[in-house]
């Protein structure tokens, strides 16, 4: 297994623990909105990096 597999598993476990905590505190809706916002920002960053790589490939 590569290091990225462990990083992915750790991140997934952390998100699940955060979701469990939000559920217990009655803040699931806020957690989901935050998760969506993070996903959108991550997608935008990936898009910018992808466009940069296409424009300036060597």
Domain ranges of the chain: 3-55
* Confidence check: pLDDT of 58 > 80: no
SS3 of the chain: helix, strand, coil, percent, to 5: 85, 0, 15
Q: How far is CA 12 from CA 22, 52, 56, in A?
A: 15, 28, 33
pLDDT (0 to 100) of residue 1 = 81
> pTM, whole model, 2 decimals?
0.77
């Amino acid at each position: 297994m590569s290091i990225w597999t462990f990083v992915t598993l750790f991140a997934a476990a952390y998100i699940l623990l955060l979701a469990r905590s939000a559920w217990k505190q009655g803040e699931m809706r806020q957690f989901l909105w935050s998760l969506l916002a993070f996903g959108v920002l991550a997608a935008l960053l990936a898009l910018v990096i992808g466009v940069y790589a296409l424009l300036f490939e060597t």
